[in-house]
Chain A
Amino acid sequence: MAYFDAASTEPLHPAAREALVTALDAADADPARLYGAARRSRLLLERARAEAAELIGARPDEVSFTTSGTQAVHLGVLGTLLGRRRAGRRMVAGAVEHSSVLQAGAAHERDGGELEIVGVDMTGRVDPAGFAAAVAREGTALACLQTANHEVGTLQPVAEAAEACRAAGVPLLVDAAQTLGRLPVPPGWSVLTGSAHKWGGPAGVGLLAVRKGTRWRSPLPEDERERRRVPGFENVPAVVAAVAALRARAAEAEAENARLSALVDRIRASVPRLVPDVEVVGDPVERVPHIVTFSCLYVAGEVILTELDRAGFAVSSGSSCTASTLRPSHVLEAMGVLTHGNVRVSLPRGASETDVDRFLAVLPEIVRRVRAAVGVESP
């Protein structure tokens, strides 16, 4: 089985596995207590925090660990909105943000706040001028922009957005879930979020960094843990493993990015040549190294995923057209591209050239067969 769904979850990095096994025994006590084993847990937790801070360009006291990337986003969004309640109740977000950002915005709206969505172009990139104008409007408490889109891989103009936010005195939450461990963290963030299982750490660890000077208040009942930012007992072994993976990934990033990016380029170039009536979406150049998405006309997304699974490929799709209750992907919809027949290939660390070639070899016949089954003959 070739695993091509790294954007959903990256396989556990060997460095994380090793650190996890060691830390399960070495860091099993309550880091808040005062006896020896507790101090050892606390030391490992704080060492992990300091390393994570260094890797993302933050101070250790700005970094908290959450129980997931989604929780990091929820706390980041709602906590900043609460902290800045007096500044206003407007939140600004790009149209193709992860659902955790948009759902936190929806919760804010239900609470009487306002959410302004900034549109994207056909590559999925937010319009910097539109974003700047939205941020500058009276009463804006928070702006949110992802580093890169999780469905199509397009990089967002975070540095420009950060500049506009700085000029307007508005904090910027940057959801870096798709790029932490792969690409440098863009400058100018006020709140940064990430998810360990996207960079090869274990699931159940998120990262929430709140820049000193950013007003933030917990939207949840107060709790002593994680500098009062995240309630609940820390999973120290998982945190240690997550940071070990982040460090390992950052060290390998340059070489692995170049390799994966070349494989993605091959897919981008080959698919339209091999399969008729296909559109490759997302920016061909300003993109993350590992994600490529294409849509096949006249094909239901689920059907093609099932066929690819049968052929030994784990891929995912942004489309959900055939599942009667589900709506099409908000990302593809906002871009104005096809929402059906969508295939997202996201290459994990170590993805092999042979597997990519085999994928390109089986894809045309699978699409032809799926189309023929609904009476569409390829030209």
Chain B
Amino acid sequence: MRRRDADTPVNAAAAPEGAEGPPPVALTIDALGRKCPIPIIMLAQRINDVPMNATVAVLADDPAAFTDVPAWCRLKSHHHVGSYELPQGGWAIHVRRNY
């Protein structure tokens, strides 16, 4: 059953008030059109390309990525900063490298 409609608020607390869009990132991984687990595989393979405490944005439109990237962060002890809706559909899912 579909429970996440396009207009569901997405991690609203993470978006700084008055900000135009998501904060800047050190690396953007384009996983649009890719099915899970590919977006997570791409993230796992590239997170070490950015410095410690830097942020990676995963662009994904597979609905599974919306749940799975934050779950990956929890399992791998990285930080899920927030998920921001993209105008063309999907999300920019921001992950901070913790180690």
Closest to A97 in B: B1
Contacts of A321 in B (CB 8 A): 35-37, 62, 64
Contacts of B67 in A (CB 8 A): 328, 332-333, 336-339
| Most B Cβ at <10 Å: residue of A321, A341, A376 | A321
**A99 in contact with B1 (CB, 8 Å):** yes
For the complex, is A40 an interface residue (Cβ under 8 Å from B)? no
Contacts of B36 in A (CB 8 A): 300, 319, 321-322, 328, 339-340
| Binary per-residue interface labels of chain A (323-335) against chain B in the complex, 1 for a CB within 8 Å, 0 otherwise | 0100110101110
For the complex, is A103 an interface residue (Cβ under 8 Å from B)? yes
A327–B36 CA distance with the chains assembled, in angstroms: 11
Interface residues of A in 64-112 (CB under 8 A from B): 95, 99, 102-103, 106
| Binary per-residue interface labels of chain B (40-63) against chain A in the complex, 1 for a CB within 8 Å, 0 otherwise | 110011000000000000000011
How distant is B61 from chain A, measured CB to nearest CB, in Å?
12
Contacts of A327 in B (CB 8 A): 2, 63-64
**B44 in contact with A376 (CB, 8 Å):** yes
The B interface, classified by DSSP as helix, strand, loop or mixed, is: helix
| Most A Cβ at <10 Å: residue of B4, B37, B38, B68 | B37
Contacts of A95 in B (CB 8 A): 3
Closest to B37 in A: A340
Out of B2, B62, B72, name the residue touching A338 (CB < 8 Å).
B72
For the complex, is A374 an interface residue (Cβ under 8 Å from B)? yes
Contacts of A319 in B (CB 8 A): 36, 64
How distant is B36 from chain A, measured CB to nearest CB, in Å?
4
**B1 in contact with A322 (CB, 8 Å):** no
Contacts of B37 in A (CB 8 A): 297-300, 321, 340-341, 374
**A338 in contact with B44 (CB, 8 Å):** no
For the complex, is A222 an interface residue (Cβ under 8 Å from B)? no
Contact residue range for chain B? Answer: 20 to 34
Contacts of B4 in A (CB 8 A): 333
**B1 in contact with A339 (CB, 8 Å):** no
Contacts of B63 in A (CB 8 A): 327-328, 333
**A339 in contact with B68 (CB, 8 Å):** yes
Closest to A295 in B: B71
**A340 in contact with B68 (CB, 8 Å):** yes
Beyond A299-B37, A321-B64, A340-B37, whether A330 also contacts B75 by CB under 8 A is no
For the complex, is A307 an interface residue (Cβ under 8 Å from B)? no
For the complex, is B70 an interface residue (Cβ under 8 Å from A)? yes
A178–B67 CA distance with the chains assembled, in angstroms: 26
Contact residue range for chain A? Answer: 20 to 34
A95–B4 CA distance with the chains assembled, in angstroms: 12
Closest to B72 in A: A297
A297–B64 CA distance with the chains assembled, in angstroms: 13
For the complex, is A254 an interface residue (Cβ under 8 Å from B)? no
A169–B67 CA distance with the chains assembled, in angstroms: 36
Contacts of B68 in A (CB 8 A): 328, 338-340
**B40 in contact with A298 (CB, 8 Å):** yes
A299–B35 CA distance with the chains assembled, in angstroms: 11
How distant is A18 from chain B, measured CB to nearest CB, in Å?
39
**A337 in contact with B41 (CB, 8 Å):** no
**B64 in contact with A340 (CB, 8 Å):** yes
Out of A117, A279, A324, A376, name the residue touching B75 (CB < 8 Å).
A279
How distant is A87 from chain B, measured CB to nearest CB, in Å?
25
How distant is B78 from chain A, measured CB to nearest CB, in Å?
13
A77–B86 CA distance with the chains assembled, in angstroms: 38
Contacts of A338 in B (CB 8 A): 67-68, 71-72, 75
Closest to B4 in A: A333
A204–B75 CA distance with the chains assembled, in angstroms: 42
Closest to B63 in A: A327
A376–B67 CA distance with the chains assembled, in angstroms: 20
**A106 in contact with B71 (CB, 8 Å):** no
Sample (6) of A-B pairs whose CB atoms are under 8 Å apart: A102-B1, A327-B63, A328-B64, A330-B1, A337-B71, A339-B68
For the complex of A and B, 6 pairs with smallest distance between CB atoms: A321-B36, A328-B64, A102-B1, A340-B36, A340-B37, A321-B64
Additional A-B contact list (6), CB under 8 Å, known A95-B3, A330-B3 = A297-B75, A298-B44, A300-B36, A321-B36, A336-B67, A376-B41
**Residue positions of B touching A, CB distance < 8 A:** 1-4, 35-38, 40-41, 44-45, 62-64, 67-68, 70-72, 75
